[in-house]
Amino acid sequence: MEPQLLHRVTDGVATVVIHHPARRNAMTAGMWKALPPLLDELAADPAVRVLVLTGEGRTFCAGADITTLQGSSEAAQSLAVLAEEALAAFPKPTLAAIRGHCVGGGTQLAAACDLRFAQEDALFGVTPAKLGIVYAASSTRRLVTLVGPAAAKYLLFSGELIDAARALRTGLLDEVLPVGELDRRVAEFTRVLSSRSQLTQAAAKEFANGRTDRDAYWAGQARGSGDTAEGVAAFLERREPRFTWTLPE
């Protein structure tokens, strides 16, 4: 099978699979280009409430396919940054489910997700210093936001790999699971996310990402949504809420 991004939607969860097992799921130029329009399609699908990004088999993503750097490394990096920014802007909750190596462009993609769960044998690295590449400013800032300046400098200056336990301590990961438990935990947690108010999630995502000009907009959405009334009623009636607000088209 050709290198590609596979996807499926099941019970409100869109799963995007990085599929290039011959090169440890390295991202080709075509795969970088394909990600933004795929994300637009999934964002517009009202059946999608959560997005999971993962890799085929035992590896998340070994970064950019190095053969794509033989022409213009700047052009290849631009494609990676556009894909990363599209993932970061996805309006619904996103979760990276990580096994094995998550390196270079793989770490870019994982960092662009809202949450990151990993198997305990996962390894992480940010490797532009091994190739003499200037890591993009937006990617650097995102990494610093996640792990802090000191840990970001360690990763960027050295290009060394760190294990999942250290990634958890730095804030790069949210949860580390024993081998064999990642899929179960991701399924369990995405069910939780799918059951919550999309209104709360969408507003919180914007605010957490630093947007400061939409307070009135989200207050208006809340007033007209019915989600607050439903949440309070469900709490008082001791039942699960049935939230109905969806992202405006």
First to last CA, the chain: 35
pLDDT value at residue 71: 59
Give the span between the Cα atoms of 93 and 211, in whole angstroms: 16
Q: What is the pTM of this model?
A: 0.95
Give the span between the Cα atoms of 158 and 42, in whole angstroms: 36
Quote the mean pLDDT of the chain. 94
pLDDT confidence tier of residue 76, bands split at 50, 70 and 90: confident
pLDDT value at residue 72: 60
What six digits make up the tokens of 133? 């590449």
Q: Is the pLDDT of residue 70 over 70?
A: no
Region 105-115: mean pLDDT is: 97
pLDDT value at residue 58: 95
Give the span between the Cα atoms of 36 and 34, in whole angstroms: 6
Q: Is the pLDDT of residue 64 over 90?
A: no
Helices (H) and strands (E) counted in the chain, each on its own, are 10, 9
Element (H, E) at 132: none
CB 69 within 8 A of CB 112: no
pLDDT value at residue 136: 92
pLDDT value at residue 131: 86
Q: Is the pLDDT of residue 142 over 70?
A: yes
Q: Is the pLDDT of residue 66 over 90?
A: no
pLDDT value at residue 1: 74
Give the span between the Cα atoms of 3 and 43, in whole angstroms: 23
Q: Which residue has the higher pLDDT, 64 or 162?
A: 162
Q: Is the pLDDT of residue 214 over 90?
A: yes
Q: At which residue do the structure tokens 């003499």 appear?
A: 132
In total, the chain counts a number of residues equal to 249
Q: Is the pLDDT of residue 38 over 90?
A: yes
